[in-house]
Structure 1
Amino acid sequence: MIKRALEERIRSKIGRGKAIVLIGPRQVGKTTLINQILNGEDFLFLDCDDPTVRNIISTAGTEELKSLIGSHKFIFIDEAQRVQEIGLKLKIIIDQIKPHQLFVSGSSAFELNNELHEPLTGRKWEYELFPISWSELEGHVGYLKSEQQLPLRLIYGMYPDVINNPGEEVEILKELVNSYLYRDLLAFGGIKKPEVLERLLRALAFQIGNEFSYNELSNLLGIDKNTVNSYMDVLEKGFVIYRLPSFSKNLRNEIKMNRKVYFYDNGIRNMIIGDFKNPDIRNDMGALWENFLITERIKLNRYFQPTAHSYFWRTKQKQEVDYVEELNGDVSGYEIKWNPKAKISPIQKFTETYNSSISRLSRDNFRPFLEV
């Protein structure tokens, strides 16, 4: 089993009087990780995908919850977002049923965060789990095998089942897209026009690494721009896409409000457009490489450097830096090129204004960028 970067951080929080909440998309290994942490312990497992379990928790009062938990010191509530008013139920468990350690997992950030925000204020440690990171993969298979797998990871992505079942990648990704994107997200997000969501996803998949316009997407899809923004919020809170903001502090000619769009997983993106061609014959390798590197860096930061902020930079004269990171007041710029021989032009305005350097990230030197 691939050791996850969050495991030791989560272990360090056990027994400190708060719930441990793990959020992330389906099939990234949340249940597996918590089971691994609880291996050897006698714990109560409550799977809220089971309608019986869901009904018992949602209708239980304090005494019924005490009876349900009994003498268990560890309680694991999986897919908690499916229980109505789950935040209040968890608050009762934390405040009135002691001693114990409560673990909670959920696949829907927009539902679970809304439910937990007020009831569990000061009562939880919350973490996000993503598909396997590059450092986790390399730590599991070693330098040579990870190097050999890089082209596959750019095409098929980093979901655990995809990595662990070579030859079955397309079938697994198809099921992920159909069951999670087009079923769970529609249900959780209250989306009334699934065909519009599908067309929006395809439009965004063809725009990875590019700035997008709400107005242009609105015209393309035949819906108003507020609805476009609302649907993108659902996709972002569902860990499908994220929007990278522009960096702007000092120069009058910097763009200030634009966004770029990226996918949390290359394989999901390629499944949406139905393109799994070999890297050697693709015309979008630059975009896939950029999506991969920035996403892997964001995973790393979420796990180990949560105060790091990610951006891109561009001026109205179209001077551009692919990726900008600000950490503890220091600004770093990166140009991302799939071809190791590609040159980058120094952007004096950026380096002088922000007392920064611009590094080139390519196929042959990316590893330090994805290490703690």
Structure 2
Amino acid sequence: MLIERTLKQTIQESLTKSNKIILIFGPRQAGKTTLVREVIATLPGRKLEINADELRHIDTLSSRNLDRLKQLVSGYDLLFLDEAQRVPEIGVNLKLLHDHVPTLRIIATGSSSLDLASKVREPLTGRTRTYQLMPLAVSELASHYNAYELDAKLEDFLLYGTYPEIFAQENKLDKTEYLRELTLSYLFKDILETGAIKYTPKLRDLVRLLAYQIGSEVSINELCNRLQLHRDIVNNYLDLLEKSFVIIRLGGYSRNLRKEITRHHKVFFCDLGVRNAIIENFNPLDRRDDGGKLWENFLITERMKTQSYRRESANYYFWRTYTGSEVDWVEEKEGKLFGYEFKFSAKMVSAPKAWGETYPEASFEVVNRENYLGWVG
């Protein structure tokens, strides 16, 4: 089953209307290579595809030698470089190609925003357009399934996530085996290869602790104590996990620091299938006690995917006071504040009194099983 990605048309237009280098970040197995191949198949001219996991072109692509680079791309109209973060000094070399072979279109992908971005940020300033591709969004699946069918698949989304390959698996056993293999093979691969990680078992312990705490406020001090690691190391691990598309950190919103909690973060996972594989729990919803947290994580990641693909800019938070008033999701965009409460049932609730008193100009909405498709789509 081939689901058309929302970014396809956007990237096509960028390649045809601009000479900027296209960079696509996203986790491994999210469909970056498939997407790029679909896009460039619609374009005229000869295309050179290089996978940086293969070593045969690495010397040339990291050489800083313009003549060698020109020889590599001679006769081609487009260069597609997959897993570009593996090429040393890739930013400088892409700059040389961009500046001296202006007719060449360049598109590069990377599974680690941390590593690739650090290599291209300075050399390619003003020369790139950057996009992020995540596992399939419900808004993308809506082109293949109607609302009734999507709702029927909701439990699968919460248990197995939305990596494209999941939809090719025929049964629950195949899905769980795929996710376990994905987690073992790729989850830590790009992080470990940065060379910035020590105490690898501690990293795995940290991810497991976070997986059990999705939707809850995470205390850095508590993590440090349980892992017996220095605060700086834990913060570094969290940063790497976020930039390698494993977790999402959500900060607290506040304009009144004495009443509102801002010191802690909530942690969510970019894909629930990966999260459930980490804790080895694929039990159905009626046999688990974290259904509400899965629902919250699902809505947050889907909302972020959709807004990212639409190039909508917003700041995201949760909100809680020391007296216990809480709003699950807060969006700040275009100078306005929007609050949302997540309910798995069709139950409707009123805005917390403190929310209305503190931010009378802000809106408040409940997102539940009956209206979530419109909110995430």
Q: What TM-score range do you get, normalising by the shorter chain?
A: over 0.9
**Partner residue in 2 for 1:8:** 9
- 3-state DSSP class of the match of 1:268? helix
* CA RMSD of superposed structures (Å): 1.4
**Partner residue in 2 for 1:353:** 358
Alignment match of 1:31 (pick from 30, 33, 45):
33
Amino acid at match of 1:155: L
Per-residue CA deviation, residues 21-78 of structure 1 (Å, 9 max, x unaligned), is: 1011100011111100011542000110001122332236101111110121111011
Alignment match of 1:128 (pick from 111, 128, 132):
132
How far apart in 1 are the matches of 2:182 and 2:23?
23
> Does the CA contact (< 8 Å) of 2:345 and 2:369 recur in 1?
yes
Structure 1 runs of 4+ aligned residues shifted over 3 Å read: none
**Partner residue in 2 for 1:307:** 313
Check 1:333–1:305 CA distance in 2 against 1; reply closer, same or farther (3 A cut).
Answer: farther
**Partner residue in 1 for 2:60:** 56
Aligned-residue identity in percent: 41
Task: In structure 1, list runs of 5 or more residues that go unmatched.
Answer: none
Task: In structure 2, list runs of 5 or more residues that go unmatched.
Answer: none
Amino acid at match of 1:353: T
How far apart in 1 are the matches of 2:286 and 2:259?
38
How far apart in 2 are the matches of 1:364 and 1:93?
51
**Partner residue in 1 for 2:372:** 366
Q: CA deviation at 1:98?
A: 2.5
Q: CA deviation at 1:143?
A: 2.3
Alignment match of 1:258 (pick from 264, 281, 285):
264
Q: CA deviation at 1:362?
A: 1.4
**Partner residue in 2 for 1:320:** 326
> Does the CA contact (< 8 Å) of 2:52 and 2:86 recur in 1?
yes
**Partner residue in 1 for 2:278:** 272
Per-residue CA deviation, residues 154-181 of structure 1 (Å, 9 max, x unaligned), is: 1000100012223221111111111112
Compute the TM-score of the two structures, normalised by the length of structure 2.
Answer: 0.95
Per-residue CA deviation, residues 205-232 of structure 1 (Å, 9 max, x unaligned), is: 0000011111100000011111110001
- 3-state DSSP class of the match of 1:220? helix
> Does the CA contact (< 8 Å) of 2:320 and 2:326 recur in 1?
yes
Q: CA deviation at 1:251?
A: 6.4
**Partner residue in 2 for 1:188:** 194
> Does the CA contact (< 8 Å) of 1:189 and 1:234 recur in 2?
no
> Does the CA contact (< 8 Å) of 1:218 and 1:225 recur in 2?
yes
Amino acid at match of 2:268: Y
- 3-state DSSP class of the match of 1:17? coil
Compute the TM-score of the two structures, normalised by the length of structure 1.
Answer: 0.96
Per-residue CA deviation, residues 113-147 of structure 1 (Å, 9 max, x unaligned), is: 00010000000000111010110012222323222
How far apart in 2 are the matches of 1:334 and 1:182?
33
Per-residue CA deviation, residues 314-365 of structure 1 (Å, 9 max, x unaligned), is: 1111110011111111111111111223x52431221243212321111122
**For this pair of structures, how many residues does the alignment match?**
370
Please give the residue correspondences for 1:1-372 in structure 2 after superposition, counting only pairs within 5 Å: 1-15=2-16, 16-40=18-42, 41=44, 42-59=46-63, 61-167=65-171, 168-188=174-194, 190-250=196-256, 252-341=258-347, 343-354=348-359, 355-371=361-377
- The more displaced of 11-20 and 344-353 is 344-353
- The more displaced of 322-331 and 38-47 is 38-47
> Does the CA contact (< 8 Å) of 1:48 and 1:54 recur in 2?
yes
- The more displaced of 347-356 and 12-21 is 347-356
- 3-state DSSP class of the match of 2:366? strand
How far apart in 2 are the matches of 1:2 and 1:362?
26
How far apart in 1 are the matches of 2:96 and 2:170?
45
- 3-state DSSP class of the match of 1:111? helix
Amino acid at match of 2:147: Y
- 3-state DSSP class of the match of 2:214? coil
